[in-house]
Amino acid sequence: MTPALPGKPAARPVNNTTRLLLIAVVAVIAFGLLRGVFSHHDTAYEKIAGEMTVDLQNNDLPGVETFQNAETATHVTHGVVGHAADVFAPLGKLVRVRETSADGEVHQFVATFGSGTVHETIQFDPDNKVVHFKFDPPTQQK
């Protein structure tokens, strides 16, 4: 132990284990903050596409209709939603939807499910309501 100087308290011994633990804690916090800053955050379009894909997979006609504008909602029928449900259901749980490109109001997405992927094309109106939706046949993973 270091002797105390006159008028000052005695210095505490430095513990290497404590120092290493403190460095590790600071490193973990810094990594978490950086990961949060640089990780992918869903865009508004990805959120809409993801929610609508889940509604389609669940054969939820009223849920799908909430994403349509007044004009296109009349084209969404039990048959259309049922067909999508038949295609999406065997793919398992939806993992994520990522936008791959956008050209004006037309946006391209890849929906990744537990056992496959689906390419989706969605056209939005200025109020972010769906005007047109189509999907390609899924690519199933083994």
Residues 66-112: tens digit of each pLDDT: 999 888 777 888 999 999 999 999 999 999 999 998 898 999 999 99
CATH number at 121 reads 3.10.450.590
Q: Please report whether residue 20 resides in a domain.
A: no
The amino acid at residue 129 is: K
Q: Please report whether residue 15 resides in a domain.
A: no
pTM: 0.69
Q: Give the three-class secondary structure for 4.
A: coil
Which residue segment(s) compose the domain that 77 sits in?
44-140
Q: How many domains does the chain have?
A: 1
* 83 CB-near residues (< 8 Å, 6+ apart): none
Q: Please report whether residue 2 resides in a domain.
A: no
Pair 101, 108: CB distance under 8 Å: yes
- Dist CA 43 CA 45 (whole Å): 5
Q: Please report whether residue 39 resides in a domain.
A: no
In tens, the pLDDT along 14-66 reads 678 888 888 888 878 877 766 666 655 678 999 999 999 999 999 999 999 99
The amino acid at residue 23 is: I
